[in-house]
Amino acid sequence: MNSPANPLSGGPVRNEQNSQAHRMDKMYRFTRHIYDLTRRYYLFGRDRLVDQIVTDSNSSTLEVGCGTARNLIRLARRKDRGLLFGLDASHEMLETADLSVSRALAGPIVLRQGLAEDLDAKRMFGKEEPFDTIFFSYCLSMIPTWQPAVDAALNNLRTGGTLWIVDFWDQKTLPALFSFGLQRWLALFHVKYRPELHEALVSIGTSGKALVTFETVGSRYAYIAKVVKI
């Protein structure tokens, strides 16, 4: 029997996708209403990343794990914003995102539901050309399948395009008690620093597939990675 179609992603609904979407929906069913208010106190570096994203009238920018669309709305307020897109696994978050976009009276943002590793520019967004910019904001530390998510992003990025990532680092230069407490607290939300992700980004840079640079946020509290596809 064929799987039913997913009207938001344009592809079949898989059990894996249903499971992950359900987990995200359960996590954010209530907290989505106060998400932006609370996250400003510990998701540092988001605005620094967004401010570095280059847009113009012909550019196309995608945020994977867009949540409430807070970052996309910031981009939408630019005069030359280009085309803006958001992808998220959670139906609940996308409901909030859609409402937030409407209330902000920002430029048009196309939102779709789906998993990061299933990203397909044409199937999900009807795009014939790859994206100029794709970014993850404190998203990959929540995704168990982070490796295929990064691969999918690079596959849907044009040559010369940029993949941006801001996420938690190892906090090695911060007080040990603070670092321990932060990691224990984040674990309650299925969030953790992934050293293997950082190592994979370094490996992408040394492989010649992309130019990779890092900048620290708050003494290794977090990092911003810039990956320019070659």
Q: What tens digit of pLDDT does each residue of 54-104 get? A: 999 999 999 999 999 999 999 999 999 999 999 999 998 899 999 999 988
Q: Which of 155, 163, 204, 178 is nearest to 53 (CA)?
A: 163
Q: What pTM, to 2 d.p., does this model score?
A: 0.80
The more confident residue out of 48 and 184 is 48
List b or e across 199-221, with b for residues whose CB sees 16 or more CB atoms inside 10 angstroms: eebeebbeeeebebeeeebeeeb
Residue 83 makes CB contacts below 8 A (sequence gap 6+) with 59, 60, 61, 110
- What order of strands is seen across the sheet that includes strand 60-64? 109-113, 83-88, 60-64, 131-137, 157-168, 222-229, 210-217
* pLDDT recorded at residue 20: 58
* pLDDT recorded at residue 22: 52
pLDDT at residue 18 is higher than 80: no
* Residue 223 DSSP SS3: strand
pLDDT at residue 119 is higher than 50: yes
pLDDT at residue 29 is higher than 90: no
Within 10 Å of residue 46's Cβ, how many Cβ atoms?
20
Q: If you average pLDDT over residues 210-225, what whole number do you get? A: 93
pLDDT bucket at 169, cuts 50 / 70 / 90: confident
Q: Tokens 């911060």 sit at which residue?
A: 174
pLDDT at residue 189 is higher than 70: no
* pLDDT recorded at residue 170: 81
pLDDT at residue 130 is higher than 80: yes
First to last CA, the chain: 42
Helix (H) or strand (E) holding 158: strand 157-168
Q: If you average pLDDT over residues 36-49, what whole number do you get? A: 66
Alpha carbons 105 and 90: distance in angstroms, whole number: 23
51-189-141 Cα angle (round to 5): 50
List b or e across 131-151, with b for residues whose CB sees 16 or more CB atoms inside 10 angstroms: bbbbbbbbbbbbbebbeebbb
pLDDT at residue 218 is higher than 50: yes
Q: Is the dihedral of CA 20, 98, 83, 162 positive or negative?
A: negative
pLDDT, mean over the chain = 83
User: Which tokens in the block code for residue 142?
Assistant: 């929540």
The more confident residue out of 61 and 19 is 61
Rounded (10°) CA dihedral 69, 74, 80, 82: -10
Helices (H), 89-175: 91-104, 121-125, 146-155
